[in-house]
Structure 1
Amino acid sequence: MARSLAIEGFIERLADVRFDNCFNPYADRCATYDVEFAPEIRRENLYSILKVLTSMSTVDLWVGRDLGYRGGRRTGIALTDERSLSLYADHLGLSELHRATIGEPVKERTAANIFRIISSVNVSILTWNVFPFHPFERGNSFSNRQHTKQEAVTGFSFLEEIADIVNVRNIVAIGNDAALWAERLGRTTHRVRHPSYGGQTEFLEQMHGLYGISSLDQEQLTLF
């Protein structure tokens, strides 16, 4: 019961956050792509994820920078696009994670790389971001920008809290921007290359080495 209340309170605080030029998937509804009760669906998905992970003896926390407009803005789950929802549900032993949008599922290259690894590891993974919302360029909500220092400070408070809610074994910081904040948690943190902007091969090789997965072949490196 105490864990459930902690998760509920955590999600309620997430939903209360407001910044200019920022989409909060746990409170905001996209007029273009979201179904009527999209924020509620994303909150329920996050609750299901955290509820199952609090029952795990060990969890690895993978930390990215912020939500992207093709992935986490739509799903409410860090480093996860709509094509990956079923993969994440399978990984966690959940019956389903629900879509909150209309139309064809949208794919994101970073998420595809992330789930190449998640589908191969034998430890439960929680994906999260330094800034757990979608920051966008002024006037274009379907764009990505890096969070500001003020946004990162707010996001870090949630990162600290979620690292205490679940039983974190190791932290994997995906990219230097994520590592700058993740390493402040004072726990074992592994810094790896972000898979975007030409970093795909290095990211996959680093993650395969970290988790003892067999070596990559060319077919594994070809995504979409």
Structure 2
Amino acid sequence: MTPRAFVAALADVQLQGVFNPYRDHCEVHDLANAPAMRRKNLRDYLGAVEALGTDTIWMGRDLGYRGGRRTGLALTDEARLPMFATHYPGSAPAKATKGPSVAERTATEIWAVLARLDLPPLLWNVFPLHPHDPDDPMTNRRFAARELSEVTELNRALIEWLGIRRIVCIGQDAMAYAATFGVEVECVRHPSYGGVTEFRQGMQRIYGKAMRPAQASTQVALF
């Protein structure tokens, strides 16, 4: 598997009520070549993760309309894009939308913790696309089982290709699914809906002394 082959396969997935940021174009927010930009963002990111030798995934549920729908990167909003080169050398994702950068609450907290690690994880989702309510693309909904079945083999290929040994689930939605891949699975509270303190405590429990003390610059206020 290569980043190009993986992203090309992901871009081929087409489902009703699902925005695929690697093939679909948002007429409201996207630049003209946004899908191609997001494909490159993901290719470069996966290549950087492979070069680092990362063996851990932080796995959320699916892409959100304020984050991954716009960036093509899981658990990442546009406000976090300038941070990539520091933590994932060789990856410098471009903003694929018009107007000011949009921030997302979950991404803010995820990246505040990620910045404290010497070896960052691969950020990914159970369902690596953006499912939305019918006729309302700027909403988030949980993926359906039939939709998940369309991407499970891609997820399996990703885990095997990168030699992933551990999945840290961001919220309970990912836990049962992650366990099917035969790797170590841990779970922390999702930082949204009042879960920030428990999320931070969970990450501290998992990483212990490998997590550097928080700096003032990583104590980012949630939007």
Could you tell me the TM-score, scaled by structure 1's length?
0.91
State the match for 1:180 in structure 2.
176
Give the root-mean-square deviation of aligned CA atoms.
Answer: 2.0
State the match for 1:36 in structure 2.
32
Q: Deviations over 1:122-161 (max 9, x none)?
A: 1131111111100000010000000001112223222111
The question of 1:163 aligning with 2:163 is answered no
Which of 5, 8, 21 lines up with 2:17 in the alignment? 21
Q: CA deviation at 1:215?
A: 6.9
Q: CA deviation at 1:84?
A: 0.8
Could you tell me the TM-score, scaled by structure 2's length?
0.92
The question of 1:195 aligning with 2:191 is answered yes
User: Unpaired segments of 5 or more residues in structure 2?
Assistant: none
The question of 1:223 aligning with 2:219 is answered no
State the match for 2:129 in structure 1.
133
More off after superposition, 209-218 vs 176-185: 209-218
State the match for 1:45 in structure 2.
41
Asked if 2 retains the 8 angstrom alpha-carbon contact of 1:72 and 1:79, the reply is yes
Q: CA deviation at 1:198?
A: 1.2
Letter in 1 for 2:120: S
Q: CA deviation at 1:217?
A: 10
The question of 1:70 aligning with 2:66 is answered yes
Change (3 A) 1:221 1:16: closer
Change (3 A) 1:9 1:215: closer
Q: Deviations over 1:81-133 (max 9, x none)?
A: 00111223321013621010010000000000100111001113111111110
Which of 5, 11, 17 lines up with 1:9 in the alignment? 5
* Paired residue secondary structure (2:121): strand
Letter in 1 for 2:50: T
Asked if 2 retains the 8 angstrom alpha-carbon contact of 1:14 and 1:26, the reply is yes
State the match for 2:140 in structure 1.
144
Asked if 2 retains the 8 angstrom alpha-carbon contact of 1:208 and 1:214, the reply is no
Change (3 A) 1:42 1:217: closer
Alpha-carbon distance in 2 for matches of 1:62, 1:95: 18
State the match for 2:90 in structure 1.
94
Letter in 2 for 1:107: A
Asked if 2 retains the 8 angstrom alpha-carbon contact of 1:67 and 1:131, the reply is yes
* Paired residue secondary structure (2:82): helix
Q: CA deviation at 1:55?
A: 2.0
* Paired residue secondary structure (2:165): strand
Change (3 A) 1:136 1:121: same
